[in-house]
Amino acid sequence: MQRLLTGYAVSFNRRHKRHGQLFQNRYKSIICQEDAYLLELVRYIHLNPLRAGMVEDFRALTDYPFSGHRLLVGADDCSWQDGAYVLGCFGKKVAKARKAYLDYVQAGVAMGRRPELVGGGLVRSLGGWSEVKKMRLKGMDRIKGDERILGDSDFVLSVLSQAKEQFERRYELKRHGYDINRVAERVAELFGIDKEEIFQKGRPKKRADARGLFCYWCTNELCLSQTELARALDMTVSGIGYGVRRGETIAACEGYMLIDSII
């Protein structure tokens, strides 16, 4: 989400010869408990233009261009948007699923604003997993009214537990001297290549596989951002993303681990 907003803001500012923030940190990714809250959140978001008075009535939502609602009701064909997943929650046949979705969203009009979906006792995202980890660094396991995670108490505790495990493993890895160079050494050892080859351009299969595993471990184990890694490898962020997926597959298929256990 951050890369998407930053990229658009830079393009917008250049086009209009302006400087400064554009979205002012209004839009963030969130961790959402799927079963209990996903559809509620979809409904809440798609009704926002109506609550804000940007459309006259519920029917007019179908003509509102800046919402995924149009695609879900079949009024638009956005090839870049995936509506199949949400519609699949309402039925297997598209026509019936669209009607069920429309009825579901319309039923939410009378509910008005939903404070339980935007704050209060539930926890909604301050910026995704990276922010959860930052809170762990500050010793803040859970903050009442925090907005990092949307879900019930068990789900919130589960997310924080996973974040705690990742944080503690990352801390131990660093304590044992694991940094980007040490990870490169481990990958080079597994693939029987020189460490420097991982940082070289080119797409021989062995080098590409090694670079993919390197990307996966750096992001998953060391928690480096894909942007940081892109700079280190002189690659695009999308290229790093592809490498991470490739590396995850290799690690799973070959049973590779950065380190078996940490004492």
Residue 87 has pLDDT above 70, yes or no: yes
pTM, whole model, 2 decimals?
A: 0.53
More confident residue, 7 or 186: 186
Residue-range domains of the chain with CATH: 48-111 (no CATH), 124-174 (no CATH), 180-254 (1.10.1750.10)
Position 263 confidence tier, pLDDT thresholds 50, 70, 90: very low
pLDDT, position 193: 94
Residue 58, pLDDT > 90, answer: yes
Q: What is the pLDDT at residue 135?
A: 54
SS (H, E, C) the chain: CHHHHHHHHHHHHHHHCCCCCCCCCCCCCCEECHHHHHHHHHHHHHCHHHHCCCCCCCHHHHHCCCCCHHHHCCCCCCCCCCCHHHHHCCCCCHHHHHHHHHHHHHHCHHHCCCHHHHCCCCCCCCCCHHHHHHHHHCCCCCCCCCCCEECCHHHHHHHHHHHHHHHHHHHHHHHCCCCHHHHHHHHHHHHCCCHHHHCCCCCCHHHHHHHHHHHHHHHHCCCCCHHHHHHHHCCCHHHHHHHHHHHHHHHHHHCCCCCCCCC
